[in-house]
Chain A
């Protein structure tokens, strides 16, 4: 079974530039999560989708971050404009709708903002 796919693996941008991350969840997983993991900290949930609807985006900085999940499969997370403090690993995870305790994580995208 293929895992959660994320791209790119690494990205370096200058502050005030924009960046986008892509995630392809495990086939059949209705729930998709984006987490931000700052170096030395645990992952923090940014947004949770159920199919293509947003379930929780309470910790998403909406003035600069946006995410979408068209057709309830792939998802993109965008940052515009980026700040230095956005440097982190962005993790995508997915699970079956009724098994949120069994979320599988992708390898993440490491973003460096200079």
Chain B
């Protein structure tokens, strides 16, 4: 019940296209859903995050869509650029009082944006 399942494992998109990565969770206690971006040889970096009280959050070309009833959330990268080529991880956490806020990560999606 602590798992976060992420798909696809890898994704190839043409420059200017839309990249879509999906995640699903089981634990309804999760109340914080971030996405991390990781370049080779670097640690993950927070990209964008959403709380379950909203269905969508947009920051520049990056959008999180959240479906509470389906227990799914997704990352959309609009106008994908070669510089977006990286590994993306979804994660989930329970931030309620008394919890440590431990992040449970998905398996990761390797995105390649072709010029």
Interface residues in chain A, defined as those with a beta carbon under 8 Å from any beta carbon in chain B: 4, 40-45, 48, 55-56, 91, 93, 100-108
Contact = CB atoms under 8 A, between A and B. Distances in A.
Interface string B77-115: 000000000000101010100001111011110000000
B46 interface: yes
Contacts of A43: 44, 89, 103, 105
18 contacts: A4-B43, A41-B107, A42-B6, A42-B91, A42-B106, A42-B107, A43-B44, A43-B103, A45-B103, A55-B100, A56-B102, A91-B43, A91-B44, A100-B93, A100-B100, A100-B101, A101-B34, A108-B43
Given A93-B43, A101-B95, A105-B44, A42 B105 contact: yes
Given A42-B107, A100-B95, A101-B49, A106 B100 contact: no
Interface of B: 4, 6, 32, 34, 41-46, 49, 89, 91, 93, 95, 100-103, 105-108
A75 to B, nearest CB: 15
Contacts of B49: 101
Among B4, B43, B44, B106: residue with most chain A CB under 10 A: B43
